[in-house]
């Protein structure tokens, strides 16, 4: 039962994120993001993952490596 509830919650969170990710952005920014998403041939979730991955790569290039203890 708990596993099914977890899946339902996860699915609901995914729908909310996918449908409202661009909420609150100026129309010009939303249109640019949607055009880029379409140009790359990605769905919304894959496009968001792509943006996050590219941001991680950019920050890794800028930040000095930290030593792990």
Helix (H, G, I), strand (E, B) or coil at 9: helix
**Over the stretch 35-62, which tens digit does the pLDDT of each residue have?**
999 999 999 889 988 988 898 898 888 8
**Over the stretch 13-35, which tens digit does the pLDDT of each residue have?**
777 776 667 777 788 988 999 99
- Decide: pTM greater than 0.85: no
Where exactly are the structural domains of the chain?
A: 2-62
Nearest to 60 by CA among 68, 48, 52, 50: 52
The pLDDT of residue 68 is above 70: no
């Amino acid at each position: 039962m708990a596993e099914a509830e977890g899946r339902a919650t996860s699915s609901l969170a995914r729908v909310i994120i996918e449908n409202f990710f661009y909420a609150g952005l100026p129309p010009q920014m939303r249109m640019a993001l949607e055009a880029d998403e379409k140009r790359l041939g990605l769905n919304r979730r894959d496009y968001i993952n792509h943006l996050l991955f590219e941001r991680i790569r950019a920050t890794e290039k800028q930040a000095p490596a930290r030593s792990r203890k």
